[in-house]
Amino acid sequence: MSQISQEFIAFSIKKQVLKFGEFKTKAGRLSPYFFNAGLFNDGESLLKLGEFYANSIKKSGIQFDMLFGPAYKGITLAASIAIAFAKNGHNFPYAYNRKEAKDHGEGGIIVGAPLRGRVLIIDDVISAGTSVRESIDIIRQHGAEPCGVAIALDRQEKGLSELSAVQEVETLHHLPVCAIANLQDLLEFASNQQDMAQHLLNIQQYRQRYGVI
How does pLDDT run across 88-103, given as a tens digit for each residue? Answer: 999 999 999 987 765 5
**Catalytically annotated residues:** 102, 104
Residue 17 belongs to domain spanning: 3-210
CA nearest 176: which of 16, 50, 60?
Answer: 60
Banded pLDDT at 26 (limits 50, 70, 90): confident
Residues 138-165 have a mean pLDDT of: 94
Predicted confidence (pLDDT) at residue 108 exceeds the cutoff of 90: no
SS3 115: coil
**pTM for the structure as a whole:** 0.92
Banded pLDDT at 1 (limits 50, 70, 90): low
What is the per-residue pLDDT across 121-130, written as a single tens digit (0 to 9) for each?
999 998 777 8
- Provide the domain count of the chain: 1
Banded pLDDT at 147 (limits 50, 70, 90): very high
CA nearest 180: which of 145, 157, 149?
Answer: 149
Q: What is the CATH number of the domain that holds 158?
A: 3.40.50.2020
CA nearest 158: which of 207, 203, 199?
Answer: 207
